[in-house]
Chain A
């Protein structure tokens, strides 16, 4: 497929899109202001990865119309496999750019929990969304891609958990990508009010192998005082898709945000995951696993910024690189002045499977306060021959031994995902990618 149209969207285009999706009136101005900024702002400059030739601005079409699903059984087979039999509710499905299915239990509704697509959220929860949409989390004007994202949002989801509400079962969101022309400008906002708890699991799933489109995704996650958010994601977007994905969290006092990200895209990807530990005593656990293959280029930044006193941050990233793939892993623990008794710990490990791949693990500690603790471990290496010897000495074949070691290496994220179907899918994707 060739990309025939260079879509430089105009202010008129974004305004008419805004009207077409019937979102809140303020969204039209929000988009048009952002578009003006996108024209003048510079591209981001991810450390050690040159993205000047990456295509972030041209795509076949801004939106495509896709079918809605009257029931989960109408979804593609790959998507159905992600849903557990015992959990058939509290699910939102987006089909390319179309909100396609929503189920939220009466119980959660009655407690004031919101789970809805971003357009509906702008109409029905206008003030709430406006308060959080690209204000305190990711700013519109950080760089060209955040501004472009804001102007072109064409999907996403809004999750709101009122004060003192603890949601036991995970909320599940599926972003199904089965149209080669579809680009994803998804925006996710999750707000957990004081003393609330929620587990959110999203899946990005391309059902085709190749698509010359792009994804520019922003998630903003807010955990208020004493709240806890577990955010799981498995990204499996097609080869040929250029992806910028920015997931950011902000914590109130004694709040906690846990991330478990399985970053399995087959295209070039810039992924940024940052938690700002603003409230005293708040904490974040940030785990991501990656498999690179083919000739894809990827850049992963995981950063925890300590602002509050007694904040605790742990970053783990494990990557497997094969063939000609290359990836930069930046792990950043930043402790601001005044964040006394903070603790910033990180671990980055890269396993090289081929001869020609490239993996850089860059552990960075930026500390502006004295009374803190910090630590990092980083390594780039091949499968340990002694581990192989040990496993094979029990009769396990070389192939199976290597498989066990790789799955074990990537287990920290797999084992954190609370939905069996998603866990299974991630295991299968890893299997497919490392084979």
Chain B
């Protein structure tokens, strides 16, 4: 079992503080959901965990099994077991999806112990089948000309190939129709189990109909304001966010406002 601990995390971008003390503990074998309206800091949390160059952690800590994640370069975080499925993955011309994936898989292995090409292709093919991806997606340039839905599936393909200890999924459901949502959820559910923990960031409950979370956290004004089980997400689906705002005396839930 592994444990990802975030303690009193403060993050700013261009001198503006977005996260104001996030504390969160995720064990492998758990799926957490972070929910909240737009502009409350959800994606900032995802970016800060992975080490996005534009986000600056001003205080607090992130550790994975006690190891200081914040001291690690981005690639070291990945090798320590973190993964971020991005909302807007970069397009990289001239680098095929398969070459990119193989570099990622081999980066986790010792030199001289690279995955054999045949084994890699077999594994990629089987995962692509689960995600109902077209065969040519392997040989196309990374994300170039991919539709929104293709990009999301491609992020989950990477997740399934790289098998991290902890995955952060940043709005993986945005822009997906119901069929694609089911396919993507199916891929994530296949990962579920011993040795895998997940933090799902979303502002719709919809995705959680297919991936049942163990815990749901509501984020407003850069802080977690409420935590509950999957029933919390269902309540949000029916009643929206207003009851939480009323309960906590929050008028404007976005970052920059104070309760």
Contact = CB atoms under 8 A, between A and B. Distances in A.
Interface string A68-108: 00000000000000000000000000000000000000000
B95 A408 contact: yes
A384 interface: yes
Given A408-B92, A408-B141, A390 B86 contact: yes
A393 B83 contact: yes
Contacts of B66: none
A411 B94 contact: yes
Interface stretch (A36-44, A133-141, A398-406): A398-406
B94 A407 contact: yes
A394 B94 contact: no
A406 B80 CA distance: 26
A387 interface: yes
Contacts of B89: 390
Given A389-B74, A393-B74, A393-B83, A412 B107 contact: no
Given A396-B107, A397-B107, 9 more contacts: A386-B90, A387-B90, A394-B107, A395-B78, A396-B75, A400-B103, A401-B75, A405-B92, A408-B94
A30 interface: no
Interface of A: 384-398, 400-401, 404-405, 407-412, 415
B83 A398 contact: no
A409 B103 contact: no
B158 A391 contact: no
Contact of B95 (A384, A388, A389, A404): A404
Interface in B36-85: 50-53, 73-75, 77-79, 83-84
B104 interface: yes
A392 B74 contact: yes
Contact of A409 (B75, B93, B107, B108): B93
Given A384-B90, A393-B50, A394-B100, A400 B95 contact: no
Interface residues of chain B: helix, strand, loop or mixed (majority): mixed
A412 B103 CA distance: 21
A395 B107 contact: yes
Contacts of A415: 94
B39 to A, nearest CB: 21
B94 A396 contact: no
Nearest to A408: B94
Nearest to B91: A387
Contact of A410 (B53, B83, B92, B94): B94
B162 interface: yes
B99 interface: yes
